[in-house]
Amino acid sequence: MKILTVENLSRAFGGIKANEDISFEAEKGKVLGVIGPNGAGKSTLFDLITGYTKPDNGKILFENKSIFGLKPDKISNLGIGRTFQKLKPFADQTLLENVMIGAFVKENNIKKARDNALEIIEFVDLIEKRHHFARELSTGQRKRLEMARAMAIKPKLLLMDEVTGGVDQKTIPGLVELIKKMRNLGVTIITIEHNINIIMEISDNILALDQGKKIAFGSPKEIQNNKKVIDAYLGTVDAA
């Protein structure tokens, strides 16, 4: 089943066409990787889907219902969660409080929300740091905080923006495991990644963007051999 359908999505900022005529579908329960050089329009795509920016035209259907033009809080209410490339933790609050705010979406009782939050914090393996303020956490821990917080709203679709960016090498396998665990729970995942190896490892499908346009869509194997993708990536691949 297609949980997300995007048709002819476009958005320009002044003269720059950040996203131009993009169409693709995300299959329920699978991982869709999004790749592209810097400036390809990947984060803009996320902003359009989650309602932070209004598209100029096109269609966005979530579970076959249009979410075009809806505000971010309405969209997250429908079951779309996201993490941000530039991390946005609630700095002056603890890890637990951060995740609790997510948990409140599905649970009104404070104690139950707290317990739910704790379970998710356990899931991302940060339970010892639950009382630490978000600003005290390392980058890798903050990435996990964002994932936990987004997971707490029990999303059907989770958009992750560069979770392995800026994180040191030994933390990466843990994050990858986490993504796989989430997928196994039935969450559909769309993830922007620069690290080609990771994308190849976790994606069921891959969407490749360049200069605002979609240049390829297919399985990892197909994308690996796609000439357009290789051209776009010459010199910019992060072959870790």
Partner 1 sequence: MNKLDIAKSEPLWNTNKNIILIISGLLFLLISLPFFGLNSFYLHLFIMIFMHAVMAQSWNVIAGFSGQISLGHGAFFGIGAYASSFFFVQYGISPWISIFIGMFFSAIVAVLIGIPMLRLSGHYFAIATLLIGISFQVVFQRWELVGAASGLWVPLTQEDSWASLQFHSSKAPYYYIFLFFLVVTFFAVWLLNRSKIGFRLRAVRDDAQAASSLCISVSNYKIIAFVISAMIMAPMGSLFGQYILIIDPDRMFNIEISIIVLLITVLGGIGNIWGPLIGAAILIPISEYSRIYLGGTGGAVDLIFYGLILMVICIFRPEGLISFVPKNILERKKQR
Nearer to partner 1, 18 or 121 (CB): 121
In this structure, what is the dihedral angle of CA atoms 174, 240, 197, 3, given to the nearest 10 degrees?
60
Which residue among 25, 27, 119, 204 contacts partner 1 (CB under 8 A)?
119
Which residue among 8, 12, 71, 219 contacts partner 1 (CB under 8 A)?
71
Kindly state the number of chain residues that form the binding site for partner 1, as judged by CB under 8 A: 42
Residue 90 as a binder of partner 1 (CB under 8 A): the answer is: yes
Nearer to partner 1, 11 or 129 (CB): 129
Residue 69 as a binder of partner 1 (CB under 8 A): the answer is: no
Q: Which stretch binds partner 1 (CB under 8 A): 6-14, 33-41, 117-125, 197-205?
A: 117-125
Residue 146-175 contact track with partner 1, rule CB under 8 A, x = bound: ---xx-xx----------------------
Q: List interacting residues with partner 1 (CB under 8 A).
A: 50, 52, 71-74, 76-77, 81-82, 84, 88-93, 97, 100-102, 104-105, 108, 110-111, 113-115, 118-119, 121-122, 127-128, 130-132, 149-150, 152-153
